[in-house]
Homo-oligomer: A and B are copies of this chain.
């Protein structure tokens, strides 16, 4: 579902930051919806992610039961498998549940 387009400027290291404040999934323990903000920062190699396909890809989690830690790692893995970026960081900050807020940060370097 994720689509790419060719990085036309591969001779240059440059930074792409993408902020997605409308991420939602479902808690695998309680079946209740979770809400969070995902922030990607990556240096592309041969490919860039197309943003509309990223939006649709993230919407796939809308009704899926999954832990915060697994969301963050799996999305990073999917993005890395898709793009083979030179580097990528993903920070996912979730709203409070039972008075507790969680932020997960994962990082990939070639």
Give the B-binding residues of A (Cβ under 8 A): 5, 7-9, 12-22, 24, 29-30, 32-33, 35, 44, 48, 50-52, 54-55, 59, 62-63, 67-70, 72-73, 77, 95-108
Q: Which 8 A-B pairs have the closest CB atoms?
A: A22-B99, A9-B73, A14-B106, A17-B103, A15-B105, A55-B98, A19-B101, A22-B35
CB of A52 within 8 A of CB of B33, answer: no
| A11 → B minimal CB distance (Å) | 10
List chain B residues, Cβ under 8 A from A103: 15-17, 19
Contact of A5 among B51, B67, B102 (CB under 8 A): B67
Contact of A7 among B50, B69, B105 (CB under 8 A): B69
